[in-house]
Structure 1
Amino acid sequence: MRKVFLGVLVVLGAGSGASAQVLDLETCLRMADTANLSIVNSRLDVAVNKSQVSSYLTARYPKITATGDYKYNAIIPGQLLPAEIFGGAPGTYQAVKFGVPYVFSNTVQLQQILFNPQVNYGISALKIQQELVEIQQRITERDSKTQVASTFFNLQAVNKQIDFVDSNLVNIERLIGNMEAMEKQKMVVQTEVDKLRINRLNSVNAKQTLLANKDQLEMLLKILIGIPEDQKITLASDDLVEKSILVDGNTINYPELELVGAQIRMNEAEKKGNNMAYLPSLSFYAGYNYTYNMKPEDKVRQGIPSAFLGIRLDWTLFDGMEKYYKQKVTKVTHMKLENQEELLNQQLHMQTENAKRQIEIQVNSLGIAQEQLKLSQSVYKQTELRYNEGTVDSNDLVKASTDLQQAQTNVVLAYVQLRQAELEYLKNIGNVK
């Protein structure tokens, strides 16, 4: 008996204020859009990448630096010069000291990149990286909302199952009351009553298990949509699980394919960047320097200004074949990405078709489960009537009750599995909203 009620838990998986907040699926998805931490973090990733792009763009702007320097020459530096400069003998040298003890120097320098192929490649790569992050954000939102919807449907199913158990308990309590009255009149033996009491205990135990699972699902749903742990919630309608969620099943969007496509474009940009690395970089620079020299004992104090400007060319003529091997790696990676794109395309189409077929299967299963429930309800009513008339024993009544509860469980399972199949289809086509 206990296994009948536990069967639904395999599919359902895992999910206190004065008044409970009433939630429907649309509200849950809307709350998750702003409060789900996975979704929030994915949007922060997009913002971080945008800031990185802006930061990298500053490489094209001029850079201005200022430096100040104080130097005390404890020993004045010197240099050997030909002695004949000072009238000495040819072929001899004389040490000459240059400078003064105290030197103050200030420099302001400007540098502007005129052409740098790596900067241009970096900007292009960061723009593609922005696409990658935005696509990943959409995937995260889709997966998070799918989890919210799945938890919502599972919670509804548990609520329905609890309602069924409560209804069955009412019937069992009524029967036990009648049987106890008949037992006092010596019309039935105690064993007949005990069989119904065992049936009631099984139902009570099943309800406790369902209530524990309900608490887990509610806790999970609160985490997913950003509701405080101590706040009570209730679902707006227990009938929503019986309604199809295939509002728009024709718009197909595969973000995983878009992600691989962006990775291929990134690979192509990397290839161009490797080729551009063969080119030189060109920059302009200019500066102004003012040096103040002091020798107090000789009363020497003199400032010397200087200014300069120039163009700098940097060109790596040989790098030990580094760029050559980078290109080989890039080429192989490109081939792998193209194969991955083709394989992913095939897999996604297969998953979509399988999800469509699964919906059809679950629709048929639901029809069968509903028919079984009608028959089980009819059999139970007839068995209960015949039991009261004394034409069948308690074994037949308990079996009819067990079959009814199994049929109730099967209907709930069928509804949940159909909604999950629809949800999986919408997830596959990127249309969970």
Structure 2
Amino acid sequence: MLVNTHKLIFGLIVLFGWNVARAQEVWTLKQCIDTAQVHNKTLRINRNNISISEQRKKEAQANLIPKVTANTDYKYFMELPTQLMPMNALNPQAPEGQFRDLQFGVPHNINANVQLAMPLYNPQIYGAIQSTQIAKELTELHFQKSAEQVLFDITTLYYNAQIILHHLAFLDSNIANTGKLLKNMELLKDQLLAKGSDVSKVKLQAEQLNTQRQNVNYKLIQVLNALKLNMGISFEQNISVVSEIQQKVSLESNTRNILDLKIIQKQNQLLHSDLKTLNQSRFLPSLNLIASYGTTGFGYDKTPNDFLKFYPIGFAGLQLTYPLFNGTVTQRKINQKKLEISNNELQAQLIGDKNKMETENALRQRTIAQQTVINTENQITLAQSIYEQTILQQKQGTAILTDVLLADNALREAQQNYLSAVIDYLKADLELKKLAGTIKN
């Protein structure tokens, strides 16, 4: 477990002279995550993608519903169709093999009908239904992946903001110490016990600390704006974060539960479903129920024999389609799917190996960082004690300004090392949670 931050830091944070902090609302990490679950635009896009995949599944299922179409057409023949009729059909005495050209029909033709088509069995339709179901599950996994990434980003930004707050607290402590030192040096100068250059050195250090604080404060604003962006809230809203860092040790789980591996496995199912559909479409026929009912009209517009007559027409039947040869197109698609499945299986192995390596590295880094946090916290206490003793010795005349500045630099270096160790710990612990698939907890 992360060692508690030095008590001095917390006292300074409580008295933090950050003017706008009073007007800001302090958000917990859980509040930031809960807000992002609702307002983050990336998550909203992925929710829409889930709805799209659901509609695609229903679209595939809708292919099993009968399709009804209404058709009509009108044709005017400027030249009627010509047929050849054997001459012995009307005159048995006529020699065989002789024909007479005749024009049949009337110039005006009208057709209108309603057609019904219903698939009774179609391997491509059933394969598409299965594939869209798997694709929907894959989209849901991608949503979980994006939600995990948003949670990771928000947590990282939140930790960064907390670290910056601690950095500002350290700077405020150093600025206060430098202010006291400056007063002492000015008093000693008035008593002719210190040189003007000594006062100038302390003033320079005070100005450098104030400049550094301004830069760090600007960095905090940038991090908070990035946090607002990921949360999906307005940039005008003033927020702050809880200053105290509380971190529990991660509980590692089976690495096979990580979302990356689940996504690869679901993609593998989708590829096998597509391959199955292709194989079935090669050897299995399609059977459809078809029916039609309508009317056919014939019209003649030459007086006195003009007329327009309609005759009903209707039929129902079955249509069987069996693929014989399509130019090896399907076989080429099958070969492609087999190669894609091979790549998918290799990628699954690669992800497993990479996750194992990164987990071991993160565990080692977190252990080292945890011990470093303890060591640097003790170093801060020791450096603070040395600084206070050096200030006292300087007042007593047994230490010079250089000793004070060296002690001050040592204190600031210990503070920076502590913050770096905390950052390394939090980064390693968060990465470990992400690798183990427990970050959402």
With the length of structure 2 as denominator, give the TM-score of the two structures: 0.89
- Who is 2:68 aligned against? 64
* CA RMSD between the two structures: 2.0
Aligned residues: 415
Tell me which amino acid in the other structure corresponds to 2:292.
G
Match of 2:86 among 82, 86, 90: 82
Q: CA deviation at 1:134?
A: 1.3
Match of 1:25 among 21, 26, 29: 29
1:148 matched to 2:154: yes
Contact 1:118–1:277 at 8 Å: present in 2 too?
A: yes
Tell me which amino acid in the other structure corresponds to 1:42.
N
Contact 1:17–1:230 at 8 Å: present in 2 too?
A: no
Gaps of 5+ in 2: 1-19
Q: Which has the higher contact order (CA 8 A, sep 6+)?
A: 1
Q: Structure 2 matches for 1:351-390, cutoff 5 A?
A: 351-390=358-397
Q: CA deviation at 1:397?
A: 0.9
- Who is 1:180 aligned against? 186
Match of 2:57 among 50, 53, 56: 53
Contact 2:285–2:321 at 8 Å: present in 1 too?
A: yes
1:215 matched to 2:225: no
Q: CA deviation at 1:151?
A: 0.3
1:328 matched to 2:335: yes
Deviations 1:76-125 (A, max 9, x none): 33323223334484344333222222222111000011111111111111
Match of 2:169 among 138, 141, 163: 163
SS at match of 1:431: coil
1:282 matched to 2:290: no
| Closer/same/farther in 2, CA of residues 322 and 20 from structure 1, 3 Å limit | same
Deviations 1:234-289 (A, max 9, x none): 11x211x2x11446544763111111111222222222122201211111101012
The CA distance in 2 between the partners of 1:155 and 1:251, in whole Å, is 31
Q: Structure 2 matches for 1:234-245, cutoff 5 A?
A: 234-235=240-241, 237-239=242-244, 241=245, 243-245=246-248
| Closer/same/farther in 2, CA of residues 367 and 245 from structure 1, 3 Å limit | same
With the length of structure 1 as denominator, give the TM-score of the two structures: 0.90
% identical aligned pairs: 27
Tell me which amino acid in the other structure corresponds to 2:263.
L
Gaps of 5+ in 1: 1-15
- Who is 1:227 aligned against? 233
1:100 matched to 2:103: no
The CA distance in 1 between the partners of 2:333 and 2:298, in whole Å, is 52
SS at match of 2:63: helix
Deviations 1:335-386 (A, max 9, x none): 3322322232222122223222222111101011111101100110011111
Tell me which amino acid in the other structure corresponds to 2:214.
Q
Tell me which amino acid in the other structure corresponds to 1:161.
H
SS at match of 1:277: helix
The CA distance in 1 between the partners of 2:69 and 2:366, in whole Å, is 67
1:270 matched to 2:274: yes
Q: CA deviation at 1:326?
A: 3.2
- Who is 1:407 aligned against? 414
Tell me which amino acid in the other structure corresponds to 1:419.
L
Tell me which amino acid in the other structure corresponds to 1:66.
A
- Who is 2:197 aligned against? 191
